[in-house]
A and B are shown apart, each in its own frame.
Chain A
Amino acid sequence: MTVNSSPDFAAAPRKAGKALAISPIARILYLTSLWVPLIGLALFFLYPLVLIVQRSFVQRDGMIGIANYVDVLSMRHIPGVIWNSLVMSGLTTLICVVLGFMIAYFLQRTHARLRWVISVALLLPLLAPSLVQALGLIFLFGRNGLISQATGWNLQIYGLWGLVISNSMYALPQAVMIIQASLRQSDTRQYDAAMMLGATPWQRFVDITLPNARFGLLSAAFVCFTVTITDFGNAAVIGGNYRVLATEIYAQVVGQMNFNMGAVIGILLLIPTLMAFYIEKVAAQRHTSGATEGAMPVAPDRQPLRDISLGLFSYGAALFLIAVVVTVVYASFVTLWPYRLDLTLRNYNITAQGGYAPLWTSLIVSTQAAVIGTLLLFMLVVSQRRLGRGMAKAVYLLAIVPVGVPGLVLGLAYILSFNVAGALPGLLYGTTLLIALCNFYHYHSQGFLTMVTGIRAVPPQLEETVTCIGGNSLHGLRDAILPVMLPTLVAVFFFLFMRSMVTLSAVIFLITPQLSVGAVSVLRLDQAGFATQAAAFSVCIMAVVMIALGMMKATLTFLERKPRN
């Protein structure tokens, strides 16, 4: 999801200033639906974030200063770990952006066949906990990997390269999505004009395609960087002796209760985000009059050499993604990987690490996150429509800030804020509700942006018409907004549900001995040496997510078929 801070408020009716005569009930309704989500954001997003900033500056002697930063940076191994993380994320970002551009270009600008293979492949990483990629890689190329055993090669998969490959697989779909969206915006007339001026295909690519895609590429780069520099799952499974920030923070904070260090590193991890926001702002200014409305999309064309080489990379990457997940599924049914490959269900008899209880917890957490999240986001976008331009923009910005906060930082901020004895916030600690809220605010921005797109489809006049013919705000909601917004609500609901099922980086800090979730179980099983059971457990998670996906598709199809009026 892109860090897009260029809202288009043209669609919002400007009803700021003195409201017309409004019934008291409607007014209460409106104030509630505006303030409840905002208070939610304040309590469960801003407050933890402010706290982590504050903690990073409170020194051991109680004074305000940068001593914590000095301490952390002067710890002997920390500069190395930071460097490792930068190298790992840098390489991953490079791979994802280059490969992502090739795939996006292949899908968008050529007559690619069998697109669905690529679409399915790109969907897979979204359906599974992030460490499934690492798990699959180990099943194939690890010490006891299928391919290592078959060939006798020692592929050294543990460490930097294993981490880069598995994180690339995890971040690639997001890169493709962002870059494809930016390619979609180009106008064919720019290409026609250049061609008439004598530009060759290569010159058109360099002078139009690349410059037009550069903000998409930048956006993709920042997203890949942010999601991988703090990714926990793959690092824990395949990182080996290659120490990165994510695992280091976890060890320091959870293992040694060194909160100050956690806070400091958390703040450092926000730096790329701040840069991303700044660059997006510059980009947004430039983009305003490159008006996209009425643009004619660029038609795909044929250039055999280009198409074949792009195809090779695209299908290659897709098949690799599929192969890795298929391997995990296969391994979950195998007696003793990779020596005795006869099929069995024994791996699914999981008793260690609380058995299947965490899976049920995950279901509860995900349902809570989806229900609460959909409701709050809906309230927010509906009431945001009635705000003046300045306020609406402020709300918009606040709502999309969470996308830039790495899950790990959010998780850290949550324990700093809620793992406090006695005090009111402490009551939530150790409940599914807190994990659900953490997941919701982790994915707040993507849900919000989807909702905003959805509500733009509701013509403001329609709502006014309902009011004019005597309906109150509730009628407007029921008869004008809901029917149009229903598909969006369904999409947001399942998006939040599915992300909550698989996310690991934030929740890893919030689980307690009594309360754990599915993604964490996979990690624990793997660390305890039960790799095939870990595979079995992740297959269960994937199954749940796929069922959710199926239900979403079915609901959306049903809603589309039903005549809306």
Chain B
Amino acid sequence: MQLKIRNLEKYYGQFQALSDVDLDVGDDEFVCLLGPSGCGKTTLLRIIAGLEPFNSGTLELAGKDLSTVSAQHRGFGIVFQSYSLFQHMTVAENIGYGLRIRKTAAAEKAAKVQKLMALVHLQAFAERYPYQLSGGQQQRVAIARALAVDPALLLLDEPLSALDARVRNDLRLEIRDVQRRLRIPTIMVTHDQEEALVMADKIVCMNAGRIEQIGSPKEIYSHPRTKFVADFVGISNFLTPAMAARVVPQLNSQAPDAQHLLALRPEDIAVRMTETAQARVTETSFLGNVTRLTLDLGDTTLLADSHHSEGLKIGDAVTVSVPPDAGVWVRA
């Protein structure tokens, strides 16, 4: 079972919402579509669901063309950010809705609903209505409802964005756990890079309707290929080849060409207090485990992390040092 997307394009009138999208989703893979608001994540998800038509390209599941199959018959599960529970049905009725549509036998349906309610820890709430549930509980119901029909593919559109931080963290782990246990290929949309890094097997980083890079969380974080990815996932300093040669002369790698920038993570930059100032601290912010410094190098500024023990203050004169294998060259 494999979802295969090739050369997909989508226009809203004149506006191109998706260009040249290629994507594969393998068996029991958890894929995150990550990107800023408005970059086309929801549009892509809705096209995969069959809720939105597309202009050109191919969309296949296990070698079968999906463009002729309507959303109603694709057999996928979907969960939205909110508002999608049936307000006049109880938790059990919501979860059992897909089975009712499929005319599943009553006993089998009841057993399945029971199992799913246990899976998402909602047994005690079977007879409640959505308006009697918290946001996190409502999303659990939505997930169970989507899972009830044994979907070939699970689609999640920012399912956690409307929840507060604590609940969000719990549900992240829960969703991942359920997905691993049921081994359902899943695509989740998010604009939260931390969420994508924590949950995904594979991150699809999108920008302005295009896919910038696809890779494991580790690859995306440590080997971003474009400036956008390096900037959107984590924090980076960017140096032109000329500046890099001056600030990090000991660097091993060479710029492939003049269009590339060196992306340096703040944690790659070590800072020492010295007499002969290479840079000056202009700002410090406390981040808990480290202190983030803003350094003024005359023609550029750098962000660097330092341990509290160094005790650097605004105005201190410092020298920076970078390990020779640090940094990645990215396309501007």
Asked if A199 and B83 sit within 8 Å, CB to CB, the answer is: no
Q: Which residue of A lies closest to B81 (CB)?
A: A189
Stretch at the interface among B97-105, B168-176, B209-217: B97-105
Expressed in whole angstroms, the Cα–Cα distance for A445 and B229 within the complex equals 57
User: Which listed residue, B71, B82, B83, B87, touches A196 by the CB 8 Å rule?
Assistant: B71
- Total A-B pairs, Cβ < 8 A: 83
Stretch at the interface among B22-30, B72-80, B281-289, B322-330: B72-80
Contacts of B80 in A (CB 8 A): 189, 192-193
List B residues 114-141 near A (Cβ within 8 Å).
129-131
Question: Is B251 on the interface with A (CB-CB < 8 A)?
Answer: no
Expressed in whole angstroms, the Cα–Cα distance for A194 and B102 within the complex equals 12
Q: Which of A187, A198, A288, A296 has the most CB of B within 10 A?
A: A198
A196-B74, A198-B75 known; A289-B130 Cβ under 8 A: yes
Contacts of B246 in A (CB 8 A): none
Q: Which residue of A lies closest to B94 (CB)?
A: A193
Question: Is A71 on the interface with B (CB-CB < 8 A)?
Answer: no
A192-B78, A208-B86, A295-B83 known; A198-B145 Cβ under 8 A: no
Question: Is B51 on the interface with A (CB-CB < 8 A)?
Answer: yes
Asked if A190 and B73 sit within 8 Å, CB to CB, the answer is: no
Contacts of A199 in B (CB 8 A): 72, 97, 101
Contacts of B76 in A (CB 8 A): 196
Expressed in whole angstroms, the Cα–Cα distance for A198 and B69 within the complex equals 12
Question: Is A207 on the interface with B (CB-CB < 8 A)?
Answer: yes
Asked if A195 and B83 sit within 8 Å, CB to CB, the answer is: no
Question: Is B49 on the interface with A (CB-CB < 8 A)?
Answer: yes
User: Which listed residue, A187, A214, A287, A288, touches B83 by the CB 8 Å rule?
Assistant: A187
Asked if B84 and A198 sit within 8 Å, CB to CB, the answer is: no
Contacts of A287 in B (CB 8 A): 131
Question: Is A291 on the interface with B (CB-CB < 8 A)?
Answer: yes
Asked if B51 and A198 sit within 8 Å, CB to CB, the answer is: no
Shortest B322–chain A CB gap in Å is: 46
Asked if B131 and A194 sit within 8 Å, CB to CB, the answer is: no
Contacts of B86 in A (CB 8 A): 190, 194, 207-208, 211
Contacts of A296 in B (CB 8 A): 83
List A residues 508-545 near B (Cβ within 8 Å).
none
Contacts of A290 in B (CB 8 A): 83, 87, 130-131
User: Which listed residue, A192, A200, A214, touches B51 by the CB 8 Å rule?
Assistant: A192
Expressed in whole angstroms, the Cα–Cα distance for A288 and B133 within the complex equals 12
Asked if B49 and A196 sit within 8 Å, CB to CB, the answer is: yes
User: Which listed residue, B46, B98, B129, touches A197 by the CB 8 Å rule?
Assistant: B98
List the interface of chain A (C-beta within 8 A of B): 187, 189-190, 192-200, 203, 207-208, 211-212, 214, 286-291, 294-296
Known A-B contacts: A197-B97, A288-B131. Give 12 more (CB < 8 A).
Answer: A189-B80, A189-B82, A192-B80, A195-B72, A196-B146, A197-B98, A197-B146, A198-B73, A198-B149, A208-B86, A211-B86, A294-B83
Between A and B, 11 residue pairs with Cβ closer than 8 Å are A187-B84, A189-B80, A190-B85, A194-B86, A194-B97, A197-B98, A198-B72, A211-B86, A289-B130, A291-B83, A295-B83
- Please name the 8 residue pairs, one residue from A and one from B, whose CB atoms are nearest each other, closest first: A197-B98, A289-B131, A211-B88, A189-B84, A187-B83, A193-B84, A196-B78, A290-B87
